[in-house]
Structure 1
């Protein structure tokens, strides 16, 4: 095994396979992975962590009667000349927008799409401009009709903290907006990170196969043995072997290699099932002059202890030679890849065919499908809608408008094509004479849910119709569904709640298959507060709140509180008077010790402000266990910047920031003062620099890595600024660096925040004036991005009237216009001060499906840093999970991103003599 460097990160161990008896013995042993190695792209790494707070949904123009009369229906409202296509409240993220109509309709000049996030316009302009790259986003994030084969498709990530709307001027005949809501739903890659992932040639970094084995029935090729995570796989086989080759993961049934590697073919087509393509996960190269084809994937494949990944020949297949190579990443425990292959014939009745089914906590990431055997000259089977039910619900939270729409095309596609997340790789027309009147067709399709994984806590059923209502026949459907399942979460109890009071009986079918029977259900409607006393097991760490209701009227909105603390919003934007019986869901985290025999937490569903009457047919509460809170320990402290020895000293650094530049160097800037500590005299930010590679090497060096830069200071206070404090530096969309910092003012309830910008980390230029002002000596800002939404966190008290220490936040789309303040954390009455001193130096980062907030509480101790965690970046319960010895902690990880890899924090302060670095263990 050896390690290499890719994209500035250490790769995992690379294993070129020569499968002999000795090699098999070695492969059966645990694989030693270099500590901190990370060859999995951060976008894919995020899929390997469970996100139980995400409720993944779509709003579409499907026929509410269960037939094929898809098309625009009234949404929430008609606002002026705009139709409201989408409206959400609470935290969330739009992951995909798909639209289509006859081309003449799409090209009408007066059409406009208007996307609003947290009350600010993210985009408002022509439809063609948005999807065809004349707006802020380019291909492949936004795709026009030709690129998306008959439709418009956007994967631009629009995240919000409180509210989002999509309006449209014109007639949006068919559309789908895929989104997620709930705690943590705003998280995920930014548009730049997603665009990079979608466009990079990941195949250039795969290990080249270099060894060969004869493969035959009963003689599989063993690729890897767990515990391990396969992060890259590359094989070469004779072209004719494709139809016989299978991939086996652990004890699961084998699946055809042509599907596993993305071709979605049978291998028996006229071209042998081969085509050359590259998606974001899979790649294939048609046979070369020597008759060998090549297949590759970067889909991570976690293997538990003793599990194997192998390639084998199907029963009855022939012998062939195979060359293979594998990349390995650090072990991912508690997660495994489910691969379900199905070969079925359409049932010929009004129902859906199951394409994927499971009762485990999972995140669905891909569907590959091969359709064949339809009626001559007829492709009506492409009218079939997908229906995705999660968590045992009868109501599908995702209902489509047609098979080609699910695969991001329109009007039966314009032809074969390949995009990063979807494509029609093969459209074979059999007997095409006479204008396709007697032709039959083969479709090889794929849709990758990398940017929009479908989350379920207690299983899902992915079904699809054959044809307009499911009754199309004959049709053969081969499919492979891929999902990650998580063993650390399980359902441990259920509580049914009936609503009481004045009720009436309603009759309705569920909005799904046309054959759905009507049901009778008791219903209560009004505007009030429903209180539920929870009977939750002591080990419960989360609950899924399921509501059954009538969607005859909309919008319906309720705020949800647990023991008085806001935990989410239920909001339904779209009315369905045709089939009104519906369900929705919300995840709520439970704190350790919150449940038990002598504890009865109270859940409140407050619908007093609902625009339409709140509807309740009943509630189901499902309780889940989860892994325990992490036990955090900190390694030895290493001084990385020595201020004691600077000429003219002694000096100190306080709140600071550390960031890596594009050329690999690192810079450090922060409050700089002459001892003894005089905060009112802090008027400049120091500038220090260090060479690469980064924090792991700094710890190993055990000596200062940063030196004072020749420029000495990055920013100085201007006349009229009493002091400047706490710079935080991040990278902007264009690659430039943005510094946000606090400016002292005479009025402690009008503290200011400003920004500066730099192209090189050395020369900084102020931009604009004061961004906003706030109370309680508001200070210590830090910036992150969720999708295209900027979030600034800062020290602030709860309100002018309640001076409880806390962490406030505001959101922005442009770093200029900011939302009103909201509180991410509010501590108890013992923390009431005039300057929110118990919550200094806030820092928020996401890691493995959790958000972590660290703050320094100097009234407790100068070195008291507390760690909080939440599924949501906007709401942290006032119960820390750990206390660290640090002041003004800033966080950095090996490789740059905080989501994976070795995790470190820097800290400093008056009297410390510099800046220190420590590794954190346990996350």
Structure 2
């Protein structure tokens, strides 16, 4: 028997993701454990935090009849000469775009891709320009047909607060848009953070290995014991021993090390040997002259107290001379990594094979590795099989694919072997390739990493894949490893079934998934009214999953959802399926203390009065979840970090301010600056002070001012048309420069302006453009942040001229130039009404472990009254705070600069304070 083995990196990729042998030289230094606690990349930290608000979904060209007639069909609308491929409302984030067609179709010159976020165009042009890196996004965020082995693939994160739409002129034939929606779904890494994570050589940070006796029969080699999190693992093993090596986490069944480390080798004689590669999570080096190969991973592995990560030898073998190194990070309570390895034969009937299944645990699915072999001679139709991912005990899969190679980001059975950060085909083996592959059998080693697009479920998951066009392909051997993080903090504690009354229509449908799913009769009602449900909420429930069963015969269907009058989300379905109309969707709702338990039943309203197509209802399921309580926040002692009172010509005061760290490590402080006493109408300068690294923890330890005036102590001065300037806020832009937004005073309090300045070094500032926008109620105190590729600006503003209740508004922008209309992230009670929204001054929003926190100062309550609110969504905060701090105009800063993790601090200042103070916050 002969075989043709095709291994290698992606042809035509814009970077080399393989690892040169020199970079993988095996060290002779004397199992090693890193002496200092290892850090986990922020992108991976996000996977270790459960996100119950994310409903993860896809819109694809899956055959609506459940067969293999996948292909382009009309979307929600035809708009001019563009068809709508994707349309979503509410909050969300596009995590992946994939599309392909026959090469002549792809190369037609008049095709146009049009991506619109919150009403603004973020891309409009040639698909080749978008996917091949000729616009704003480069490889590996966007990959062309050669690099992605037969398809266009994008992992550019497009977040939205209200609405997103993708149009296409031409015929893409096959496409998939994977996305998430619901509270908090817009959050996640920026394009720059994601690109850095994808391309960096993370293997260089692994600890050195040392010699260890390998595992033998009944004698596992323990690599680490909890409580801890394995942040990195590096092994050197004899090349021929990989087939006998297994990895075990705790009491779970062992899984083959070849799969756990990314399918570097299958360990068989005719598999072509080891492949040298590096993905975003795994790496391997082919055996060296001494016959030793190297494997590495940076996939975090949380270990509970007493739980072990170990290596085992299969089948009574012994594996000597293993070198190992482990990097350990602090333990992650409540999180664990589930490993499910399966070795199965295709069933030979029209169904899906289960590749991963968990009955009811909250999950975030993060990776699938699959090796396919043993098909029919000269036949690769097994690659036509579609994935179907069911979450939350639903019959209807919210992710339905168009082919196995499509799921793995390729097209048309792949161009060949390739390796990309999040997907690849490391091995394509052709056995007996003579006679134009007519008598050939094939093997594929495939991986897809759901780092940027984890599949979230609150109550169990089933990941199935068809073998072939309808699942009936045989024979075929399928070996797979599915990886998912499970979380113990959220559990189902009750359920309520609701069947709305009213006139109903009858229909007949199977579920749009399994080919042979039987058709069943269902009855549904349609209309454009408001459905009201009295919620029977357990007293200890902290979250509610709303599940709707409906008819998708007509679309689009849209409804706003409210709980006791509080806006909690949007349900929007863009695609119609009159062939198999039975469908389901979901929305997560966090419950406030007054909405759970007791005699009063909160009222849930599904408001479809504005739905374009009639709203359809078969019934609703309300599933209630327990969860951790709100944190208890305390603040440490205050330390003055900048002395304004003692400056020459003083005393001065600093009010609303901002702190940011430059790339060289030095810190910049700027803020409102004026002589005492307090005269806000005369504040026309922003002070500029600097401090060396490393940051806030050392400033606390120093117990004395760390900031001093810069050589040029004024960053920005008011212009002649600016009555005053207030509240500068500084953040890093995409290119590494610094951007400052600030308020400018105007004669009309309902036309308050916001302007911008820029700096490369934080010292020299240049104004850019004119007024960004104007707003009412002395709108002021801007704060700028990025969610994915979306800029969001928060600021103090009343609800409206007619209802001057204090609140926090926000606007979004794709480019810091075009801004959306205002919307309210928070509106307080009627007693907070005042002309200048004084109860919500100095807003600041940051994310922490799956929650967003909003702080602001309420000076009518007290000059030092700062309230903290929290929400799963950055765009809707409940009016009840979780804490009150002693601070004025608080700004937040973290050790290391990333507010999502590490020790957390806040600064505060104000007239009569004498400078800027720093305190540590405990409890988050």
In which range does the TM-score fall when normalised by the shorter chain?
over 0.9
**CA distances 1:556-583 after superposition (whole Å, capped 9, x unpaired):** 0101011011111100000001100000
Choose 104-113 or 264-273, whichever is displaced more: 264-273
Query: In the alignment, what sits opposite 1:171?
Result: 171
**Quick one: structure 1 residues 606 and 264, their matched pair in 2 at CA, closer, same or farther if it must change by over 3 Å?**
farther
Query: SS of the counterpart of 1:74?
Result: coil
Shift of 1:593: 3.5
Query: In the alignment, what sits opposite 1:433?
Result: 434
Query: In the alignment, what sits opposite 2:223?
Result: 223
Query: In the alignment, what sits opposite 2:749?
Result: 748
4+ residue segments displaced more than 4 Å: 16-19
**CA distances 1:505-561 after superposition (whole Å, capped 9, x unpaired):** 211011001100011111100110000000010111111111000000000010101
**Partners of 1:259 and 1:875 in 2: CA distance:** 42
**Structure 1 segment 262-273 matched on structure 2, within 5 A:** 262-263=262-263, 265-271=265-271, 273=273
Query: SS of the counterpart of 2:140?
Result: coil
Query: In the alignment, what sits opposite 1:913?
Result: 914
Asked if 1:576 is matched to 2:577, the reply is yes
Say if 2:357 and 2:461, in contact at 8 Å, map to a contact too: yes
Say if 2:265 and 2:275, in contact at 8 Å, map to a contact too: no
**Partners of 1:316 and 1:582 in 2: CA distance:** 50
Say if 2:549 and 2:617, in contact at 8 Å, map to a contact too: yes
Asked if 1:508 is matched to 2:509, the reply is yes
Tell me the number of residue pairs that the alignment of Structure 1 and Structure 2 aligns: 896
Query: In the alignment, what sits opposite 1:420?
Result: 421
**CA distances 1:278-331 after superposition (whole Å, capped 9, x unpaired):** 000000000011110000000001111111111111133233220000111122
Query: SS of the counterpart of 2:109?
Result: coil
**Structure 1 segment 95-114 matched on structure 2, within 5 A:** 95-114=95-114
Query: In the alignment, what sits opposite 2:494?
Result: 493
Asked if 1:119 is matched to 2:113, the reply is no
TM-score (norm 1): 0.96
**Partners of 1:637 and 1:331 in 2: CA distance:** 30
Shift of 1:720: 1.6
Asked if 1:484 is matched to 2:485, the reply is yes
Runs (5+) with no aligned partner, structure 1: 1-15
**Structure 1 segment 707-718 matched on structure 2, within 5 A:** 707-718=708-719
Shift of 1:18: 7.9
**Partners of 1:238 and 1:652 in 2: CA distance:** 67
Asked if 1:411 is matched to 2:412, the reply is yes
**Structure 1 segment 118-517 matched on structure 2, within 5 A:** 118-263=118-263, 265-271=265-271, 273-358=273-358, 359-517=360-518
**Partners of 1:362 and 1:542 in 2: CA distance:** 16
Say if 2:552 and 2:582, in contact at 8 Å, map to a contact too: yes
**CA distances 1:675-698 after superposition (whole Å, capped 9, x unpaired):** 111111110000000011111111
Query: SS of the counterpart of 2:203?
Result: helix
Say if 2:265 and 2:271, in contact at 8 Å, map to a contact too: no
Say if 2:38 and 2:327, in contact at 8 Å, map to a contact too: no
TM-score (norm 2): 0.96
**CA distances 1:866-905 after superposition (whole Å, capped 9, x unpaired):** 1100000000000100111111111111111111111111
Say if 1:264 and 1:369, in contact at 8 Å, map to a contact too: no
Say if 2:52 and 2:456, in contact at 8 Å, map to a contact too: yes
Say if 1:782 and 1:843, in contact at 8 Å, map to a contact too: yes
Shift of 1:267: 1.2
**Partners of 1:194 and 1:301 in 2: CA distance:** 21
**Partners of 2:59 and 2:675 in 1: CA distance:** 59
Shift of 1:38: 5.9
> RMSD of the TM alignment (CA)?
1.3
**CA distances 1:832-855 after superposition (whole Å, capped 9, x unpaired):** 111101100000011100000001
**CA distances 1:599-647 after superposition (whole Å, capped 9, x unpaired):** 2011000001111111000000101110000011111111111112211
Say if 1:538 and 1:593, in contact at 8 Å, map to a contact too: no
**Partners of 1:64 and 1:528 in 2: CA distance:** 28
**Structure 1 segment 894-913 matched on structure 2, within 5 A:** 894-913=895-914
Choose 255-264 or 740-749, whichever is displaced more: 255-264
Say if 1:264 and 1:446, in contact at 8 Å, map to a contact too: no
Query: SS of the counterpart of 1:315?
Result: helix
Query: In the alignment, what sits opposite 2:879?
Result: 878
Say if 1:17 and 1:324, in contact at 8 Å, map to a contact too: no
**CA distances 1:641-688 after superposition (whole Å, capped 9, x unpaired):** 111221111111111000000111000000111111111111000000
Shift of 1:703: 1.3
**Partners of 1:649 and 1:692 in 2: CA distance:** 27
Shift of 1:268: 1.1
**CA distances 1:152-178 after superposition (whole Å, capped 9, x unpaired):** 000000000000100000011000000
Choose 201-210 or 348-357, whichever is displaced more: 201-210
Query: In the alignment, what sits opposite 2:854?
Result: 853
Query: In the alignment, what sits opposite 2:555?
Result: 554
Asked if 1:538 is matched to 2:506, the reply is no
Query: In the alignment, what sits opposite 1:69?
Result: 69
**CA distances 1:199-250 after superposition (whole Å, capped 9, x unpaired):** 1111111112122223212221111111101100001000011001111111
**Partners of 2:698 and 2:383 in 1: CA distance:** 56
Say if 1:241 and 1:320, in contact at 8 Å, map to a contact too: no
Say if 1:215 and 1:321, in contact at 8 Å, map to a contact too: no
Say if 1:360 and 1:458, in contact at 8 Å, map to a contact too: yes
Say if 2:673 and 2:686, in contact at 8 Å, map to a contact too: yes
Query: In the alignment, what sits opposite 1:639?
Result: 640
Choose 544-553 or 692-701, whichever is displaced more: 692-701
**Partners of 1:802 and 1:722 in 2: CA distance:** 26
